Amino acid sequence: MSKVVDWIKSNVAIVVCGVVILLVLVLAPWFSSSLEAGVRESAEQRARQVSEIAGFERSPVSLDVPGRAPISGSGVVNAALLEQYRNAAARLQSDAEAVRAVAVEHNRKGRGVVSAEAFPRPPRSQRETIQFDVYDRVVEAYEDLLDRVRAGSPPEEDTVVAELQRREMQFINNTLRKQTRKDLDAREEADLDAELAKARLVRYGERARELSFYASLADLDVPAPPQQSRISTAEMFDWQWRLWVAEDLLEAFAAANDGDASVVEGAVKRVVSLKVLGSLEPPRSGGGGSDFGGGGMPGRRGVEGEGGAAASGGMSDEPPLGEVRIDASIEAPRDFARSFTGRSSNGIYDVRNVEVVLVVATEELPRVFDAIAARNFMTVLDVSLRPADPFEAARRGYIYGTTPVSEVTMLVETVWLREWTAPFMPSDARAALGISSGVVMDQGS
């Protein structure tokens, strides 16, 4: 036994190594199993985390974009993405506001009303007489419009007759050396008639070169003078609105004629008639609202509380009107059964259709359509043509030149943004269109 102990003492390293080897052989399987389980669990945990991350990357994301359909995709919704979305939405909103401002200015063209006293609410002290003042100003505005676009009528017949009488006497006395028409023979009388016909055409031609196109107040459907009975402020505002419509169309016709061209060279020769369809009438008891015809308002009643004078059609002593409430974020509906544009009056804009009859140089008709579209939010919905007789027109003083001409009947759709028109509207007009507005305390107007 002592020899074994001595050997162990002299071979400690060998003994320790042997013991370690024995322990390894005994414990290795247990350590191996435990280590494998830990590694497997760690790997499985990491796999689950990777799967969760991949799931986040495939998460469906839908972003609302102003003015467009939502954008759908997949990705991780994080702070960076949300910040990018906010920045993009802000840019789109800014662009939309800029476009809206340009559209309003294009539609309005800096226009106001003929009487700031009458619209939107005339003072009580003038409500018996204001209609006459408004009418006079509307007629004056039409006359200014005709002057501005260089439109007018052929020479007055009485003026032409007086000029021809003077020319007749000059021709008889100076050319034929006779005293009166009774002294002429058949040949001389024929020469006189030919000279007078030539003089008449020369006078008509001179007038044609002074004008861009023919048009008169009678051709523009100017309202009839008001009678002594008081009319509604809605009807007065309708006068103003019709003036705006006529202004846009006549300015478009002048643009089609290049401004400086005369009737003889221009595309548009004559405005035979211009009629704004429908009327802006306050709703009656048991009846519908305004109908602008074709693309106008469907029957709508004035909403109670949105206007005080709607039911009576007169000018009542309602409180002063507050700010117009128009939600520019709503979508304007389309009804393509009504017209190919699908537009009709809604909470954003009003549609007023116009029937226009023109005499146009036939080959220049596309230029006229382009000028109408360029002037404002106007679209030609329907067109019919028939040949025009320039010789018959010349006998009545209308000189069209030598190019073939047609009489064109057009239905034109005009669009009016309420953002600028509604603040001018009196209460009964707003009620007729279903436009709501607040009221403010009366300041003793």
Per-residue confidence (pLDDT) for residue 290, from 0 to 100: 45
Per-residue confidence (pLDDT) for residue 305, from 0 to 100: 31
Residue 289 and residue 378 in one domain: yes
Per-residue confidence (pLDDT) for residue 55, from 0 to 100: 63
Name the band, by pLDDT with cuts 50, 70 and 90, for residue 218: very high
Per-residue confidence (pLDDT) for residue 375, from 0 to 100: 97
Per-residue confidence (pLDDT) for residue 59, from 0 to 100: 67
Closest CA to 307 of 230, 422, 138: 422
Per-residue confidence (pLDDT) for residue 269, from 0 to 100: 97
For residues 422 and 74, which has the higher predicted lDDT (pLDDT)? 422
Residue 219's domain comprises 215-439
Per-residue confidence (pLDDT) for residue 307, from 0 to 100: 35
Q: How many domains does the chain have?
A: 2
Last residue of a domain, one of 173, 188, 210: 210
Residue 375 and residue 319 in one domain: yes
* pTM (two decimals): 0.75
Quick check: 95 and 101 in contact, CB under 8 A? no
| Position 47 in a domain | no
Give the DSSP letter string of 8-48.
Answer: HHHTHHHHHHHHHHHHHHHHHHHHHHHHHHHHHHHHHHHHH
Residue 220 and residue 359 in one domain: yes
pLDDT in tens, 90-133: 887 788 789 889 999 999 999 999 999 999 989 888 888 899 99
Closest CA to 376 of 351, 347, 404: 351
Closest CA to 156 of 221, 222, 203: 203
pLDDT in tens, 401-430: 999 999 999 999 999 999 999 999 999 999
Residue 261 and residue 379 in one domain: yes
Highest mean pLDDT among 66-70, 174-178, 240-244: 240-244
Residue 195 and residue 257 in one domain: no
Residue 234 and residue 261 in one domain: yes
pLDDT in tens, 287-311: 334 445 443 333 333 222 333 333 3
Stretch 32-40: mean pLDDT: 65
| pLDDT greater than 80 at residue 232 | yes
Q: Residue 237: how many CB atoms within 10 A of its CB?
A: 24
Per-residue confidence (pLDDT) for residue 366, from 0 to 100: 96
